Structure 1
């Protein structure tokens, strides 16, 4: 009788361990927190120097970004990020500079080995804007929504990804008494390196 009880206990603990060990291993590989940074190749929207003037299209420039991210899941994962971005666009002899905080909320899926695809909305909060030395305070919306999608390659704790970002809605800045206006909506290619801590 006693050995039968011990046998049932052993079976119970064996089954419990079989259930807990994969869960613990999965939790270690599926969840992470890390740092990221990289380069942006970006342009903003059109610039209208005065009412009725023809649009000036931006020349693209290289900017940079740094931030943090979390990752939950393995084969299919959720990856929220908080990123500081600095961008610059040239319009003839003038430059438009913008600093913003981005909060991409990405869902990804592994498609082949370490390769994954991802996408999702990105909330954007404009911290500061400057056009040809003039600080622009009158931006239509400090908070706007964009879209991120791209591909990533993850090797152990290191990752690299290339993504495209586009703002959804027009978000104009007006200055010089409202006669000049500039679309602050970003459009950029973003190359990032990341490290899970």
Structure 2
């Protein structure tokens, strides 16, 4: 009986490894983000408010070099939205994660690395964004993935590293003492990828 169990487990692991995506290549990816930006500071009340999280989306391309240990650069267009009492903040950016991963068992793999982020467009409802400190910033991605043949699914966490505030001006606020918003993303990202 013991030999039958060991044989069954070995056969299952071997067959799973055969179907795992191990070759180098490139492909397309897309999915959903569960996002929240940083605190919103209101100058009149001198209060900070955390963002209510929202669902956004992303779409892009990726490459993969290596098999057991691999390098996976990506170029992704991301749209996110965060809600505050004063309004909704929408952000569109280009992300370039530079990920290093390792296949751990069968089709499962772990990965992580820096993400270069460039803000393409931003909008705060009923207000004007006067300036964003830096259009370019750096963040961190890490997560776990599952691949079968050419199709992969991964779940990752992203967080911006450096402070990056936007100044918000509306009709009631002096431009000398504007409201401020931390634009650093903090998000869970669920992706579906297809390797060509």
Q: How does the TM-score come out when normalised to structure 2?
A: 0.83
Structure 2: unaligned runs, 5 residues or longer: 1-20, 170-174
Structure 1: unaligned runs, 5 residues or longer: 1-27
Cα displacement (A) at 1:37: 0.1
C-alpha separation between the residues in 1 aligned to 2:126 and 2:36? 18
- Relative to its length, the structure with more helix (as a share) is 1
C-alpha RMSD of the superposition = 1.5
Tell which has more relative contact order, 1 or 2 (C-alpha 8 A, sep 6+): 2
> Which stretch has the larger CA shift, 28-37 or 148-157?
28-37
Give the length in aligned residue pairs: 170
Q: Does residue 1:164 correspond to 2:157, yes or no?
A: yes
Give the secondary-structure state (helix, strand or coil) at the position aligned to 2:38.
Answer: coil
Question: Residue 29 of structure 2 aligns with which residue?
Answer: 36
Distance 1:29 1:114, change over 3 A: closer
> Which stretch has the larger CA shift, 151-160 or 43-52?
43-52
Give the secondary-structure state (helix, strand or coil) at the position aligned to 1:141.
Answer: coil
Aligned residue among 117, 120, 130 for 2:113: 120
Q: Does residue 1:73 correspond to 2:66, yes or no?
A: yes
- Is contact 1:36–1:68 with CA below 8 Å preserved after alignment? yes
Cα displacement (A) at 1:51: 6.2
- Is contact 2:30–2:57 with CA below 8 Å preserved after alignment? yes
- Is contact 1:129–1:137 with CA below 8 Å preserved after alignment? no
Cα displacement (A) at 1:175: 2.4
C-alpha separation between the residues in 2 aligned to 1:68 and 1:137? 32
Runs of 4 or more consecutive aligned structure 1 residues displaced over 2 Å after TM superposition: 133-137
Give the secondary-structure state (helix, strand or coil) at the position aligned to 2:194.
Answer: strand
- State which structure, 1 or 2, has the greater radius of gyration over its C-alpha atoms: 1
Distance 1:93 1:174, change over 3 A: closer
C-alpha separation between the residues in 2 aligned to 1:153 and 1:75? 14
